[in-house]
Structure 1
Amino acid sequence: MRTFDLSPLYRSTVGFDRLFSLIDQIGGVENVPAYPPYNIERTGENAYRITMAVAGFGEQELSIEARENVLTVKGEKKVEEADDKKVLYRGIAARSFERRFQLADHVEVRGATLENGLLHVDLVREIPEAAKPRQIAIANGARAERTLEAKAA
């Protein structure tokens, strides 16, 4: 039997919590780690935070762009090696990366902070009033007829 790996979709979307909870229950999808490692947290009813471990990267080496429901985080590390020192073992990642996150409708980036090697990107989902559900009053048939007659007179 063939199985489909939905982990790339699961790891790169924000605001589709219910959909992926259902997929987890049905298919038992597991996350596959990627570079750089990151967490997606729900910090409020309509607020999210993406935290990425970007140790060794400075603010000038990171860029964040939000365009058409896609959040892109790029890191370009410029390795400067002095002539007098040679690295015997390189365990600290210095490679460039690009991570894309598909955002749900009406999810906006509120800001980003770099603190202790962690990049925090705060997101919020703001649904416009026109798209929010609203209650419709049900009128009594006789009352509706009287209202129409009063408008006609």
Structure 2
Amino acid sequence: MRAYDFSPLYRSAIGFDRLAGLLDTASRLDAQAPSYPPFNVERVDENEYRVTMAVAGFTEDELEIEVKDQTLTISGKKVESDEDRNFLHRGIATRSFERRFQLADHVQVTGAQLENGLLHVDTRREIPEALKPRTIAIQSSANGNGRKVIENTADAA
């Protein structure tokens, strides 16, 4: 039994409720999680990722990709009817599915393509300029007000 109580995180951290929610959701995952359709998550570059999903038998019209609230949802619904077909063996799965992927902050879906029964969904992390590190120039001042002191003479008494 692995039950963790994340309620102290909700009480003492402000603005981290999404992180606590992710931890809470991850703790509830079990071995009974759906395994259809199989997929890969690949890191293509430092800021680029690709989700590849095996969707053999599905057409572009039967697949839907949606991004809402930092969640990528890929779903497929078979449209054609198999009532007039007489299968002796049916090994190709054509059941409907829905897969959800939690996207990190600033990750955007940049495109998708269906190729040889594989659906590729490309994403890219684009950090806004305001959040990127920047270098601040240091100005030196001899007397603290930003002006350099050229000459300082004291009256000798």
List gaps (5 residues or longer) in structure 1: 5-30, 148-153
Q: TM-score, normalised by structure 1?
A: 0.70
1:53 aligns with 2:54: yes
Larger C-alpha radius of gyration, 1 or 2? 2
Q: Equivalents in 2 of 1:58, 1:109: separation in Å?
A: 20
> How far apart are residue 70 of structure 1 and its match?
0.8
Give 3-state SS (helix, strand or coil) of 1:48's partner. strand
**RMSD between aligned residues:** 2.9
Q: Equivalents in 1 of 2:50, 2:80: separation in Å?
A: 29
Query: Relative contact order (C-alpha < 8 Å, sep 6+): which is higher?
Result: 1
- Structure 1: which 4+ aligned runs deviate by more than 2 Å? 1-4, 135-147
Q: Equivalents in 1 of 2:48, 2:76: separation in Å?
A: 25
- Report the identity percentage: 61
1:128 aligns with 2:128: yes
What does 1:55-70 correspond to in 2, within 5 Å? Answer: 55-70=56-71
Q: After superposition, what is the alpha-carbon deviation per residue over 1:69-106, rounded to whole angstroms, capped at 9, x for unaligned?
A: 111101001342253x4112211001000001100011
Q: TM-score, normalised by structure 2?
A: 0.68
List gaps (5 residues or longer) in structure 2: 5-30, 148-157
Q: Equivalents in 2 of 1:3, 1:44: separation in Å?
A: 36
Aligned length: 125
Indicate the structure with greater helix content: 1
